[in-house]
Chain A
Amino acid sequence: MQEKVKDAPGSEFTWVGTRPVRPDGVDKVTGRARFGADMAMQGQLVGKVLRSPHPHARIRAIDTSAAEKLPGVKAVVTREDFQDQPSEFIPAGEMMINYRDVVRNVMAREKALYEGHAVAAVAATSAAIAKQALKLIKVDYEVLPHVIDVVEAMQPGAPLLHEDMITAGVEPAPKTPSNVAKRIEFGAGDVEAGFKQADVIVERAFTTKPVHQGYIEPHACVASVSEDGQADVWVTTQGHWIVRAHCARLLGWDVGKIRVTSSEIGGGFGGKTVVYLEPLALALAKKSRRPVKMVMTREEVFRASGPTSGAHVRVKIGARKDGRIVAAEAELKYQAGAFAGSPVQPGAMCAYAPYDLENVKVVGYDVVTNRPKVAAYRAPGGPISEFAVESALDELAGKLGMDPIEFRLKNAAKQGTKAAYGPKFGPIGLVETLEAAKSHAHWRTPLGKNQGRGLACGFWFNIGGETSVSLSLNEDGTLSLTAGTPDIGGLRASLCMMAAEELSIPMDKIRVQIGDTGQLGYNFLTGGSRATFSSGMATVEAAREVMKEACKRAAKLWELPEDAVEYKDGAVRPAGPNAGKHAPMSLKEIAGIAGKTGGPIAGYARINAHGAAPSFATHIADVEVDPETGKVTVVRYTAIQDAGRAIHPSYVEGQYQGGVAQGIGWALNEEYIYGADGKLQNPGFLDYRVPVASDLPMIDTVIVEVPNPRHPYGVRGVGETPICPPMAALANAVAAATGVRFTDLPMSPPKVLKALDEARAKGTARL
């Protein structure tokens, strides 16, 4: 759907660009909204999972007989209940999946590959009985040596997770197995020749720790299977069609037999794009002939659901004295967790995406370790590589004596720039965000004692994909809009606003819902910052179909040719030479004649949304470092980002602010901490500390609008880009405040204090 995007933001629109109360808002402030764990089915059982206490162990045998005999236990499932799957990588949005691994992740087969790996599941009449039953399951483990660190996992002789894993992407193929699942490489030009032209080169190694998405709502579902095999699942997920596809595949059932309803979703950030409990609940429900409800504890969420990769990254960037970058290299080693499939590919593609480079080379490694399989987390892979690149650029600008904004402007990608990862950019807003940063009062405000200021840019691709939306005209002229991408943060408001804009009617005449998998054609999940873009595009198409059909019906009534009738200002009216011949008909009046002019009126859009456009950001951070404790406090933060067009600016700002808060957590205190025994030591919100209100300042936002010409309202995805710049913005700010460059996240107080003490001893510290 291409068309000329209307220019002057806001002014010519009635709804787009305004800030109405969201349609699902009242339910969410009154407790009426139903999330994953808020559903109960008649006669439901409680499902619980037995998890491996070992990070790496062969499973010799599982004896469930004692558990099965316990009164109140209605079903037990293990690896025996799931058919093996062939190895085949299938694109799944921003990540790839392989059902051979998915079936092993939901239920361990030959080996338990991380502490917390599911080994068996039970359904019982109460939680207490289910827990007791888990204790009665006897698992015969042969404990194996484990490996947690990505660099150690790549060493020859490291414990092997998969004895048949031969590194892909290496010619000739290695003869021996390793933990390296894949090597990737891409680039352009000649980096060696480029570095020879450089006046200044910065080369640095960086490490980041795995961090969890930290959604407040744990994974939860309720499943029911009838005697004739018709299944229903209620689940908190970012994509219920994806849940249906995965469950059908893993259980060998027909897709059409499974109906999945998405509950309200209490945060996902990428982590609710995969299945954990759902196939187990269905298998238990089928076996027990009772509905089964399963809810993870917070500890299970941390131990067994996917964080993002920890990584080791080396970057080398060379520039001439005039500030032009002449060569850039990166080597990325990403932990995938127990199964192949880290986001190293998108991480590699993001690394240098904001810059117009002639000579660039990026190499990436996807490495398995004895940790939970990583899942997507907001711009999967991007924040890690961009942290490294944006930190090195800051250092390079310093060595060149250039302002960090001017240095970036000198190298910034623009419309027509060929990105290092392949495509040529259309209209993009990186330069506009840098200019907005330069003219922002924040950039010029004097700093206080022990304070420093940092800046960094960010990028994310954004995606489109398969999408279905229906819009029915009700008999009284109101409308029912049904979309299939779960609403994770204001989607229904945006869709309603776009539909109201198209139809020129009040927003409250449209009720919008998220339909179940039986109500619409296929919908890919809410991820890749695609929901407002794709479902918005489909909503506009459905609204236009309704308007066209309304015109057709009036034409029939007025006995005019169809093209002699137009839809304008919320009513159907005769056009051209026939203008004024008949009184305009409102949607209410059209609805009244629908029956006798051909039946119900509805628009139904089934599209593969193309034309998603990237979003760039520039962030400015001020920090204050406590010289005595090493605590870093963010005292001021400004996030500037291109939204294409903000449909509901408050929720666009909210995405920027939320991404920043998560980035601050990643930068300053979040990390998975493992003991030498390979067990996670901080599986709770007390010890895995996400930022709380008293940790953060207000987060200022600037919405830049460079409309995406391939969306009817100019929309770009906005959700993921804002988590990319904060780590480097903060590291650059800490470097400015202290004179110490931090390359190892998180910059937690003990680490900062130690580095400060060392720098003080050497006389290089600034405080």
Chain B
Amino acid sequence: MAKHHVAATVNGDAVEFLCETEETLLDVLRDQLGLTGTKEGCSTGDCGACSVTVDGRLVCSCLMLGVEANGKAIGTIEGMAQGEELHPLQRKFLEHAALQCGVCTPGFLVASKALLEKNANPTETEVRYWLAGNLCRCTGYDKIVRAVLDAAAEMRGA
């Protein structure tokens, strides 16, 4: 069967690609568009390493087909910093040492950004439940949760 033609935006830039029916959005991002910041940890939607936003909504890109991205606005980790300026979440993750190996970090950052866009002032419990779909095996989550709370406070101007 012929490949599907898909047109979408990724981090604000228009992209076009051809993909097989069974290819996931994650496969397309990593293998076709060269955006390897989004990681594959399980391919079953359990680890959150492949978190991206689709029209502003947080999704696991391993659970969405490439063809489903047609006409959508995709946001990935590569679009988070503005020029040389890191997003406050990125800065706070570094200041709080909220990463060790760093492979889950892009997913956590994308998920945390989606949280703060919905809820600018989350409690610790709200942060923990929102991020329960993102696995980290290195940190025990302590410094991640602190970094998110600190970034939220800074972004509120608190």
B-binding residues in A (CB < 8 A):
19, 21-22, 24-26, 28-35, 37-38, 40, 128, 213-218, 264-269, 295, 297-298, 488-490, 648, 650-651, 653-655, 657-662, 684-686, 690-696, 698-699
> What's the Cα separation between A653 and B101 when bound, in Å?
14
Measured CB to CB, the nearest residue on chain B to A655 is B100
Is A30 within 8 A of B128, CB to CB?
no
**CB <8 Å contact, A29 and B94:** yes
Main secondary structure of the interface of B (DSSP, over half): loop
Check A699 against B140 for contact (C-beta < 8 Å).
Answer: yes
Complex contact B129–A19 (CB within 8 A):
no
Task: Pick from B20, B44, B77: contact of A684, CB below 8 A.
Answer: B44
Q: A31-B106, A217-B103, A651-B97 are in contact. Are A690 and B128 (CB under 8 A)?
A: no
Which residues of the partner chain B approach A29 to less than 8 Å between Cβ atoms? 77, 80, 86, 90, 93-94, 99, 102, 105-106, 109
The CB with the most chain B CB atoms within 10 A, among A26, A34, A264, A694, is that of A694
Q: Are B109 and A216 closer than 8 Å at their CB atoms?
A: no
13 example contacts (A-B, Cβ-Cβ < 8 A) are as follows A26-B90, A28-B99, A29-B80, A31-B76, A216-B137, A217-B101, A218-B41, A264-B103, A298-B47, A658-B137, A692-B134, A693-B128, A695-B132
Shortest distance from the beta carbon of A647 to any chain B beta carbon, whole Å? 13
Shortest A394–chain B CB gap in Å is: 23
Q: Are B38 and A31 in contact (CB under 8 A)?
A: yes
User: When chains A and B are docked, how far (Å) is the Cα of A720 from the Cα of B90?
Assistant: 28
Chain B residues within CB distance 8 Å of chain A: 20, 22, 30-31, 35-44, 46-47, 49, 76-78, 80-81, 86, 90, 93-97, 99-106, 109, 124-125, 127-129, 131-146
Assembly CA distance A699 to B139 (angstroms):
10
Q: A30-B80, A216-B41 are in contact. Are A654 and B100 (CB under 8 A)?
A: yes
Q: Which of B46, B103, B106, B124 gathers most chain A CB within 10 Å?
A: B103
Min Cβ gap A46→B in Å is: 10
Extra contacts, 5 of them, besides A19-B97, A38-B36, A657-B139 (Cβ < 8 A), are A29-B77, A266-B39, A267-B100, A692-B132, A693-B145
Closest approach, in angstroms, between the C-beta of A45 and any C-beta of chain B?
14
Quick check: A32 and B37 within 8 Å, CB to CB? yes
Inter-chain residue pair count (beta carbon < 8 A): 186
Partner of B135, one of A28, A651, A685: A685
B residues less than 8 Å from A298 (CB atoms): 41-44, 46-47
| A489/B100 in contact, CB under 8 A | yes
Contact residues of A: prevailing secondary structure: loop
For A654, list chain B residues within 8 Å (CB): 97, 100, 138-140, 143
Nearest neighbor of B148 in chain A, beta-carbon distance: A693
| Chain A residue nearest to B100 in the complex (CB) | A489
> Is the CB–CB distance between B103 and A267 below 8 Å?
yes
B41 and A661 contacting across the interface, CB-CB below 8 Å: no
Q: Is the CB of B137 within 8 A of A215?
A: yes
Query: With A217-B39, A267-B137, A657-B143 known to touch, is A693 a contact of B46 (CB < 8 Å)?
Result: no
Q: Which of these, B30, B97, B105, B135, contacts A490 with CB under 8 Å?
A: B97
Check if B132 sits within 8 Å of A693, measured CB to CB: yes
The smallest C-beta distance from A372 to any residue of chain B, in angstroms, reads: 18
Shortest 10 CB-CB contacts between residues of A and residues of B: A31-B37, A266-B103, A661-B140, A28-B102, A489-B100, A650-B97, A657-B140, A685-B46, A31-B77, A38-B36
A22, B81: Cα distance in complex, Å: 18
Are B103 and A650 closer than 8 Å at their CB atoms?
Answer: no
Nearest B residue to A30 via CB reads B81
Say yes or no: A22 contacts B97, CB within 8 Å.
Answer: yes
A650 with B137: CB separation less than 8 A: no
**A216 & B103 in contact (Cβ 8 Å cutoff):** yes
Q: How far is the CA of A297 from the CA of B77 in the complex (A)?
A: 23
